[in-house]
Amino acid sequence: MHPNSVQLPPGAFAIGKKFGFEAGHRLAGLAPEHKCARQHGHSYEVEVILTAFCLEEPGFVTDFGALTPFKEFLNTELDHHNLHEILPFEPTSERLAQFLAGWFIQNLQPAIPGRLVAVLVRETASSWARFDVEER
């Protein structure tokens, strides 16, 4: 089959980009004997997932470079901080994913093509939480 004869199906495109930061926290709402009630830290991995039905030239959902302000926010506001001291909520991965989605939508999404679909926060290699953004 020749490449020119392939019919392109309709649908949506999606991209993802991972970012990392180091931070500590404790979950004061847990029983004192729970290990997460004590101060501890994580090498957090955050992934943003964006979608679009049409691509921007030269064929992007969003240029990965346009996501740099999100990385800068993570570096300046969260990296090497105690999350329970700076965030206005109990810093679980679930709430952190929702918070980061809110920051992304308010500060970055208006300036870039593509729509944020989800934010995934990974605390460890085997533990993660994902917040899916409702389509408006």
Topology (CATH) of 15-39+50-132: Tetrahydropterin Synthase; Chain A (3.30.479)
- Active-site positions read 36, 80, 123
* Extended beta strands in 59-126, E state: 115-124
- Tell me: pLDDT of 1 over 80: no
Report d(CA 114, CA 122) in Å as an integer. Answer: 23
> Quick one: residue 24, left, alpha or beta (phi over 0 = left, psi -120 to 50 = alpha)?
beta
Q: Where are the domains of the chain?
A: 15-39+50-132
- The binding site consists of 25, 40, 42
Average pLDDT, rounded, for the chain: 94
Residues 70, 19 contacting (CB under 8 angstroms): yes
How does pLDDT run across 67-115, given as a tens digit for each residue? 999 999 999 999 999 999 999 999 999 999 999 999 999 999 999 999 9
Structural tokens at position 39: 């101060």
Residues 122, 45 contacting (CB under 8 angstroms): yes
Tell me the C-alpha to C-alpha distance, in Å, between residue 126 and each of 31, 59, 88, 94. Answer: 23, 33, 26, 15
Q: What is the pLDDT of residue 92?
A: 95
- The binding site for Zn(2+) consists of 25, 40, 42
